[in-house]
Amino acid sequence: MRKELRRWAEILRERALAQGLSFPPVLFEEVGPEEMAMLAAYGGFPRRYPHWRFGSEYLRYRETYRYGLGRVYELVANTHPVHAYLLKGNTLLAQKLVMAHVYAHADFFQNNLAFKPIPKDMEAEMAHHAAFVERAMERYGARSVEEFLDLALSLENLIDPHALYIQRRAEENTEERPPDRLRVRPYLDPYVNPPPEPPREAEEGANPTPLPPRPTRDILGFLARHAPLAPWQKGILEIIREESLYYVPQAATKILNEGWATFWHTRLLLPLLSPEEALEFAELQAGLLAPHGFNPYRLGYLLLREVEERWDKGRFGPEYEALPLGERLAYERPTGLGLKQLFQVRTVHTDLSFLDTFLTPEFALRQRLLSPEDLPRFAEAKKALLFRLTNGGYPIVELVDANHGNRGELLLEHAYEGVELDLKKTQAVLENLHRLWGRPVHLKTVVGGKETLLSAGS
Amino acid sequence: MRPIERDLLRFKEIVRGEVKKKAREFLTREELFGQVEGRLVSIPLPQLELPKIVYGEPLGEDLGLGGPGTDSLGPAGHVPVAELELEEFLDLVGEALRLPRLRPKGEGEVTEEAFRYTTIARKGPRGLRHVRRTLKESLKRALITGEYRSEEPLLVPEREDLRYKAPRSKPRPHAQAVVLFALDVSGSMREEELRLVKTLSFWITLWIKRHFPRLERRYLLHDAEAWEVTEEEFFRAREGGGTRLSSALLLAEEILKRYPESFYNRYLYHFSDGENWQGDTPVALEALRRLLPTLALYGYAQVQGPYGQGRFLEDLREALGKEEGLAATEVKGKEDLPLALRRLLGG
C-alpha cells in the first residue's frame, strides 16, 4: 500500500479510537477492478467453493464497472483482523473516506449484538468449505456435486436465523446429540458421528417422540442430520447452512451498519478536509446519499442523525411523548446525550428494531419521506416497510413433522401473514426437497385466501 | 486458472447449453430480430435462477418511506439475462439445429488487395500528412542545428521534414456473397405466411453472413411481374394479381449479372405458395436450368396459403430434383421452421 495511504489509515484510526469507536486491527489492501469484482462475487472473501453463480455475479460486477455503470469502492469482511479492500485508482480523498467508513464497519461488527455469535475466522472456514467441495468434486464428479449444490442452494433461506443465538438446555441436547459424540466442524459431523436415519414407514406408535420434537425453522440443519444422503451431501448442506447463517446479521443490519459507517466517515473526515477536497467530498457524499430508490446509506444516516439530535435536545421521555405532534418539533431540553445514545443504538439494534423504535411521523415529515396529506397512512406504510425487513424479506417456513401421516413424509408450514408465496418457485423448491428427502413433501400455506397444501412427490 | 475464472467458464458453459436447448424457440422470437445486427445478443434465461421459497408479489408499495428495492434485501424479481457474442450465439443455434456450414463455391474466394496505411513515406498527398512524425523530424532538425530554444519552442517544418502515411498493400483472401430474396405477393400470401417468410429470410441472412462477412442483399417482389424493392418494403403485407414465378427468376438473373459468379457466392431464395399460372411453369423451369449452375444455392420455400397448396414444388422436384444446388422445402407452420431452414441452407 502506498505510504501516503498508510499514513492516513493511521491518522483516521487514531481519530476513530479517540472518539470512542473500538475495533480489531484493520488490514487495508488496494485491489484492481477485476479482483474487486471477484471479491464482491465471493461475498467479501478471496476463496469460495466452486459454483457457477459466483461466475455469473463476477461477470455482472465486471461488466458494470467496464461500462461505467457503477463501481464497488470498498469491501469489508467481518473477520479478525478485519480485511478491507480499496479500489485501486481512486483518488486519495475517496480512499480516506472509505477507510474512515471501514473503521466504523469494523466497530459495528465488533460491538453490535447481532454479530456476537458469528465466527471471526470465516476466511479460514470459507477456504475449508471450498476444499471440501473441491474434494467431493474430484471423487464424485464435478457435475453431480454441482447438481447437488444447485439443489442445496435453493434451500439456503430455509434456516433458523436465530439458530446461533439459541442456547438449548443440556438435556434437550442429549436427545438429538448424545454426549458421546465428538465435537468437529459441522460439515464433517456426518463422517465422524453418523446419525441414525429416521424410520421410513414407521409402525404405528413405533416412534413415540415426534421428529422434530417441536416445529423448527432450521430445515437445512434437520436435513443435514436426518435426510437419507451420502456423508458428502450432508456435509454440503451443513456448509450452505453455515454460510447462510454467517450472512444473516449482515443482511439484518444493512441500514444501521451503512448509516453508522456514513455517520462516522463524515464526522471523522469533515474537520480534516482542505478547501480543494471539500468539493470532491460533497460530490462523493451526494452520490452516496442520493434519494433515488431505496438507499440504506441514506435512510440509516438520516435516522442516526435524527436520533443524535433528539437526544442532544432532550426530545425523549414521557414528557416529550405526551406532547402533540406540532409541539414536539419545537421542544428543547438540552442534555447532550446524543452520541451516547448513538453508541447504545449501534450496540443493541437491528434494522427492524431500529426503524420500529425511531422511525417516527416527525422524522418522515421532516425528511419529506411523507407528505402531510399522507400522514394518516404513516402507520400502514411503516408496517409494510418493517414487514419487508422481517426475516430478510423471506417467508417464514417451519418444518412441522418429518413423519407426516406416519408415512415418513415431510410437512412444512408457511406462517401466512397476508402475502402469498410465488407458487411456481415454491413448487420447484418442493420438488428439490422431495429429491433430497426421497419421500413426498408437503407445504401448508394460503392460496387465494384458502388454506392449501402444496405437495411434491405424492 | 483463478477459481473465479473457473466459475465464470462454467457459467458460460451452462448458458451455451441452455441456448442450444432452446434453439428452436429462439427461431421465432421476434424480439431477437432487432438486436441481432449488433454484436451482442441478450438472452433471457429464467431457468438459470435457483428457485427459492419467496413471496409471490413485491412486498407492499409504501408511501415513499423507502423499502428494500429489487437489488437489496428481499426477494428480487429479475429474470437473469445472459449476453452472448452474436457469432457465438449463431454457432450454438446452428449446431443445435444442425445447420450446414457453407463453403465458398469454386472461384468465389476472392483475393483482394487490402490497403493499410502502416508505413511512412517522404512524399505523399497533403491529406495523408503525418503531423506527429513531421513535427518529430522538425524537432530533430532544430535540435541538431541548434535552432531550438526551449523558452520559445516554435517548430516550423521545412520541406525535408514532411512525412506522410503510406499504404502497404497486403493481399487477403476474402470470400464474398450475394443473397437475393424473391417473394410472391399474389393474392394468397397473408400476415401469417409473411411472418414465416420473414423469420426464414432473417435467419438465412444471418447464417450466410456468418460465413461470408461481406454479404450483399437484394430484394424483389412479384406477382405477374417482378420489381426490385428495399428490405423494408419486402416485408410489408400487400396483395397483388396473378402469379408468374418466371418473372422473379428472370429479374433475378438480370440483377445477378452485377455479381459475377467468379467473385461472388450467389444465393437466390424464392418464397411462394406455389400457385403458378399454368403456362408459366415451363418458362420458370427453363430459367432455372440456366441459373442453377451459376448459383451456390437456389432455395425454394413453398408456404401453405389459406387456399391450400400450389404444385410448383412438385413440378420443381420432378424437373430438377437431381440437380445440385437446389434446396426446396415446404413450410406449413412455425413447427416446420427448423427443418425448412436446414433444407434451405443445403442441409
Task: Give B2-35 pLDDT, tens digit per residue.
Answer: 899 999 999 999 999 989 998 998 888 877 776 6
C-alpha B175/C-alpha B264 separation (Å) is 7
Q: What is the pLDDT of residue B147?
A: 79
Give A-chain residues touching B59 at CB under 8 angstroms. 384, 387-388, 393, 419
Q: A153 CA to chain B: closest CA distance, Å?
A: 7
B63/A370 Cβ within 8 A? yes
C-alpha B208/C-alpha A408 separation (Å) is 59
* 3-class DSSP state of B178: strand
Alpha helix (H) residue ranges in B166-262: 191-211, 231-234, 245-256
* 3-class DSSP state of A401: strand
Give residue B102's pLDDT band: very low, low, confident or very high (50, 70, 90): confident
Phi first, then psi, for residue A350 (nearest 5°) are -115, 175
The answer, yes or no, to whether residue A63 has pLDDT greater than 60, is: yes
CB of B155 less than 8 A from some CB of A: no
CB pairs below 8 Å between A and B: how many?
Answer: 157
End-to-end CA separation in angstroms for chain B: 39
Give B-chain residues touching A424 at CB under 8 angstroms. 51
Instruction: Determine how many CB atoms are found less than 10 A away from the CB of residue B176.
Output: 18
CA angle B167, B169, B170 (to 5 degrees): 140
Give A-chain residues touching B51 at CB under 8 angstroms. 154, 424-426, 428-429, 432
pLDDT digits (tens, 9 = 90+) for A402-433: 999 999 999 999 999 999 999 999 999 999 99
C-alpha B207/C-alpha B100 separation (Å) is 9
> Is the CB of residue B296 less than 8 Å from the CB of residue B266?
yes
Give B-chain residues touching A385 at CB under 8 angstroms. 62, 65-67
The answer, yes or no, to whether residue B66 has pLDDT greater than 80, is: no
pLDDT digits (tens, 9 = 90+) for A67-79: 777 778 889 999 9
Considering CB atoms only, which of A55, A254, A299 is closest to B11?
A55
Mean pLDDT over each residue of chain A, to the nearest integer: 91
The answer, yes or no, to whether residue A357 has pLDDT greater than 60, is: yes
What are the CB-based long-range contacts (under 8 Å, 24+) for A423-428? Answer: A423/A447, A423/A454, A423/B56, A424/B51, A425/B51, A425/B52, A425/B53, A425/B54, A426/A454, A426/B51, A426/B53, A426/B54, A427/A454, A427/A456, A428/A154, A428/B51
CB of B81 less than 8 A from some CB of A: no
Q: Which of residues 108-147 of B touch A (CB under 8 A)?
A: none
Helices vs. strands in chain B: H and E counts, helices first: 11, 9
Closest CA to B299 of B258, B260, B252: B252
Considering CB atoms only, which of B69, B74, B80 is closest to A293?
B69
> Is the CB of residue B158 less than 8 Å from the CB of residue B138?
yes
Which segment of B29-33, B155-159, B233-237, B331-335 scores lowest on mean pLDDT?
Answer: B29-33
CB of B1 less than 8 A from some CB of A: no
Highest mean pLDDT of the ranges A309-323, A364-378, B129-143, B223-237: A309-323
Q: What is the pLDDT of residue B170?
A: 58
pLDDT digits (tens, 9 = 90+) for A17-48: 999 999 999 999 999 999 999 999 999 999 99
The three cell numbers locating residue B247: 418473372
A422/B75 Cβ within 8 A? yes
End-to-end CA separation in angstroms for chain A: 61
B12/A428 Cβ within 8 A? no
The answer, yes or no, to whether residue A203 has pLDDT greater than 60, is: no
Give B-chain residues touching A423 at CB under 8 angstroms. 56
CB of A388 less than 8 A from some CB of B: yes
Closest CA to B330 of B310, B346, A182, B322: B310
CA angle A61, A133, B78 (to 5 degrees): 35
ipTM of the complex as predicted? 0.89
Which segment of A32-46, B102-116, B209-223 scores lowest on mean pLDDT?
Answer: B102-116
B48/A48 Cβ within 8 A? no
pLDDT digits (tens, 9 = 90+) for B154-184: 777 888 888 888 877 655 556 789 999 999 9
Highest mean pLDDT of the ranges A261-270, A381-390, B140-149, B324-333: A261-270
Closest chain B residue to A417, measured at CA: B55
Give B-chain residues touching A420 at CB under 8 angstroms. 55-57
C-alpha A43/C-alpha B7 separation (Å) is 14
C-alpha A229/C-alpha A69 separation (Å) is 44
Q: What is the pLDDT of residue B46?
A: 66
> Is the CB of residue B25 less than 8 Å from the CB of residue B43?
no
Note if the bond before A212 is cis, omega within 30 degrees: yes
Q: Which of B1, B2, B5, B7 to mutate to test the interface with A (most CBs of A within 10 A)?
A: B7
CB of B2 less than 8 A from some CB of A: yes
Q: What is the pLDDT of residue B180?
A: 96
Helices vs. strands in chain A: H and E counts, helices first: 20, 7
What percent of chain B is modeled with pLDDT above 70?
83
Q: What is the pLDDT of residue B75?
A: 28
CB of B54 less than 8 A from some CB of A: yes
Give B-chain residues touching A432 at CB under 8 angstroms. 51
Closest CA to B254 of B243, B244, B268, B241: B268
Closest CA to B179 of B138, B234, B124, B123: B234
Closest CA to B102 of B89, B114, B91, B88: B91
Instruction: Determine how many CB atoms are found less than 10 A away from the CB of residue A132.
Output: 19
Q: pTM here?
A: 0.79
The three cell numbers locating residue A226: 436426518
Q: Which 3-state string (H, E, C) describes B75-142? A: CCCCCCEEEEEHHHHHHHHHHHCCCCCCCCCHHHEEEEEEEEEEEEECCCCHHHECHHHHHHHHHHHH
Q: Which of residues 164-183 of A touch B (CB under 8 A)?
A: none
pLDDT digits (tens, 9 = 90+) for A138-194: 999 999 999 999 999 999 999 999 999 887 655 455 455 555 667 788 888 878 877
B65/A370 Cβ within 8 A? yes
Cβ-in-10-Å burial (0-12, 13-18, 19+) of A418 comes to: exposed
